[in-house]
Amino acid sequence: MDYEPVEQLTEAHLADLHRLYAGEWWCKDRTLDETLRVVAGSSMVFGFTASGTLVAFARVLTDRIFKALVFDVIVDPAHRGAGLGDLLMRRILDHPDLRDVRTIELYCLPDLVPFYERFGFTTDLGGVLFLRRSIQRASRE
């Protein structure tokens, strides 16, 4: 199958992204409005399409000098195993605005650590701790 890279999403791609989010445990409750807002608030977006449909996606927040944070790396289940995750990460890391960023970070589950280690990511943060503040959202009833 031929995959085409995209760095801007059309309305149809945004609907595809919302569908991709709905299929994953970590983002299944995102609304279409939240999907639109999260893409608009991202510094950069990366994706791949197959026959015009968005089938792989990731987004980045960055200052383009010191830090970049990769979010929402997702590949449509029907297209997993085709190397799209590798292609997506390579496009991000090789992008001219990101290739010289001092620190690129991401979150992942333990079983995905070996995948990201292939790109130079590590769990050794030199004693730095990750802290989180969460806001409880109102129920969507």
Domain membership flag for residue 44 = yes
Q: What are the tens digits of pLDDT across the range 93-131?
A: 999 999 999 999 999 999 999 999 999 999 998 888 888
Domain membership flag for residue 56 = yes
Domain membership flag for residue 105 = yes
CATH assignment at residue 76: 3.40.630.30
Q: Which of 3, 21, 107, 116 is catalytic?
A: 116
Domain membership flag for residue 102 = yes
SS3 state of residue 104: strand
Strands (E), the chain: 4-6, 44-50, 53-62, 67-75, 103-106
Q: What are the tens digits of pLDDT across the range 54-65?
A: 999 999 999 999
Domain membership flag for residue 124 = no
In the annotation, is 116 catalytic?
Answer: yes
Q: How many domains does the chain divide into?
A: 1
Question: Which of 57, 51, 46, 50 has its CA nearest to residue 19?
Answer: 57
Domain membership flag for residue 28 = yes
> What is the pTM for the complete model shown?
0.90
In single-letter form, the type of residue at position 128 comes to V
Domain membership flag for residue 140 = no
Its domain, for residue 55, covers: 4-117
Domain membership flag for residue 60 = yes
